[in-house]
Chain A
């Protein structure tokens, strides 16, 4: 292939990340961890961090369904079943970071789950913070 014009994805650096060990692993941590063979060797690849900002993650993965307005499926559905005041997640002060992270990984009804390769754990933290902070900063008058 002609490689004279190689562009990396500069602003959307999607390479490896240093994933912190998830301390919230439950008991059902698989027995595999216990039965691991002795002393796993270091990975052979250089691990680069992907740590995109919450806003970047939101624009890429969430806005399509969650931005305000009738083009956005989740916003519409939330308005219908939960009420207008619950429609736009960026304006919802009732959402906690833990809840957001849980829903992202588990999905909910119409919403499918997002994998660690879509949004890694660090980015998930950033996203949750972005939504929570954004909702905090939102004043209802602005929507009128």
Chain B
């Protein structure tokens, strides 16, 4: 197998650069072997070919100084690097780089928990710190702070937050809860943002904006710098927590439940992001498709109904929670009950009757920041594990939800896939996640999934719907769809890119942001 090299770089140049990098981190932290080491850096769930995203090497530094030295070398040789932190961004590319041949800058070994401050409710962590790591630490030390993790929870704070990820407790908007970061620019300049404007600032992880332009957001979903540290606010353990579920019988209930939710979110009656989850996503936590349908294509309606009945699930399944002192939770639950009981067929479920159901159990864990991997059961639905997320943003509006759902479902069925999805209802918006599941060992299915995804991006854009995050394969297509005023925003991103990374060595192509020499050639 020929080693994939970065575009325009010769083997000699590559080897020379690697030799220098080995002197920085030690040869044991430079991974070169395509078979024994770099296989683990590929995107296991891609919809094209492994080779499309195969790195030429991976490097694992532990300190800012090492990163600075590596940057100096790759700038010199003009070798593109692709930064990952915990490397678990599955459904969006995992640890793999945008194009074959990049060198992966793997920050997993930069994994210190720098500080946890219980009194002020924050932590400062390095990129390699996973949700499990901090959770275990807090448990071990008896610190009464919760984390807010993604599902599944083997990812980490820096990576997920910088990809605009979301969670399931009241602190679910991860970027909102981020406070301060340390970034290394392409030329090695170290920047402390936020309130670390002075050397002994007391408010580094306490005040988000600093003074002057508030620039933290520039380093999220972008390739303008390498984040080496991040502050995050942690929620104090509340006095009480009441999760609940509502099963809904009709497809159109999606519209009603969304419209009923918005005022409850605006008025903070429900404190976290409610999830409206479709039947199949729910069912996948307990069973696989073949247990109810052995044919090809989407599961037929009668099979779905039987499965729903067996598992005591609705066509839609709504999860949310209230948090706080018991009397306040009781007051909020009264309003919640009154509100949703107006939906015919809506049934409330609580821990008493639901405990032990894997779907309930894992969501309850997520809503209190207990990391778990149960959501990976989705990969069992068709088996073969392939999955890619189509993630449009929707208004927190019933009609908009129905439009998106029906549009996606129709296309999915056309391409012989099930619609598997959920809506996370934020403050005024929703993250709509369509889990496109496929057997990664089936080349035809991969191809079909890829085609479906590309069609969905275009369909959505035609309706004015855009995705909030995406897989490596679709970054350009989606970036191009955010085209208001002749792609003025991406031109702006490129102006920033050219200034902050003139050699274009940081994660070229991330979110469709390319350095000059690669622009328009992807």
B413 at the interface (CB under 8 A from A): no
Q: Quick one: closest A residue to B130, CB to CB?
A: A60
Q: How far is the CA of A42 from the CA of B26 in the complex (A)?
A: 7
Contact check, B137 vs A7: say whether CB atoms are below 8 A apart: yes
Across the interface, B115 reaches (CB within 8 A) one of A2, A29, A106, A110, namely A2
Chain A residues whose C-beta falls within 8 Å of the C-beta of B12 in the assembled complex: 35
A95 at the interface (CB under 8 A from B): no
Contact check, B385 vs A26: say whether CB atoms are below 8 A apart: no
**CB within 8 Å of B: which A57-87 residues:** 60-61, 64-65, 70-74, 76-77, 80-81
Chain A residues whose C-beta falls within 8 Å of the C-beta of B94 in the assembled complex: 112
Contact check, B26 vs A47: say whether CB atoms are below 8 A apart: yes
Q: Quick one: closest B residue to A20, CB to CB?
A: B28
How many A residues touch the partner, as a band?
A: 35 or more
Contact check, B108 vs A109: say whether CB atoms are below 8 A apart: no
**CB within 8 Å of A: which B370-385 residues:** 371-374, 376-377, 379-380, 383-385
B25 at the interface (CB under 8 A from A): yes
Contact check, A14 vs B362: say whether CB atoms are below 8 A apart: no
B118 to chain A, nearest CB (A): 9
Q: Quick one: closest A residue to B439, CB to CB?
A: A109
B333 at the interface (CB under 8 A from A): no
**CB within 8 Å of B: which A101-128 residues:** 105-107, 109-118
Q: How far is the CA of A3 from the CA of B116 in the complex (A)?
A: 10
Q: How far is the CA of A122 from the CA of B351 in the complex (A)?
A: 43
Contact check, B39 vs A106: say whether CB atoms are below 8 A apart: yes
B236 at the interface (CB under 8 A from A): no
Across the interface, A110 reaches (CB within 8 A) one of B116, B180, B376, namely B376
A137 at the interface (CB under 8 A from B): no
Chain A residues whose C-beta falls within 8 Å of the C-beta of B19 in the assembled complex: 36-37, 40
Chain B residues whose C-beta falls within 8 Å of the C-beta of A80 in the assembled complex: 288, 290-291, 380
B106 at the interface (CB under 8 A from A): yes
Interface string of B404-428 (1 = CB under 8 A from A): 0000000000000000000000000
* Given contacts A1-B124, A9-B133, A28 and B1 within 8 Å (CB-CB): yes
Q: How far is the CA of A139 from the CA of B361 in the complex (A)?
A: 29
Q: Quick one: closest B residue to A61, CB to CB?
A: B154
Chain A residues whose C-beta falls within 8 Å of the C-beta of B35 in the assembled complex: 25-26, 28
Q: How far is the CA of A122 from the CA of B332 in the complex (A)?
A: 53
B170 at the interface (CB under 8 A from A): no
Contact check, B36 vs A26: say whether CB atoms are below 8 A apart: yes
B481 to chain A, nearest CB (A): 29
A116 to chain B, nearest CB (A): 6
Contact check, A71 vs B362: say whether CB atoms are below 8 A apart: yes
Contact check, A35 vs B15: say whether CB atoms are below 8 A apart: yes
A31 at the interface (CB under 8 A from B): yes
Contact check, A110 vs B137: say whether CB atoms are below 8 A apart: no
B198 to chain A, nearest CB (A): 11
Interface string of A1-25 (1 = CB under 8 A from B): 1111111110110111111001011
Contact check, B152 vs A109: say whether CB atoms are below 8 A apart: no
Q: How far is the CA of A32 from the CA of B14 in the complex (A)?
A: 8
A71 to chain B, nearest CB (A): 5
The 4 closest A-B pairs by CB, nearest first: A64-B373, A43-B26, A110-B385, A117-B108
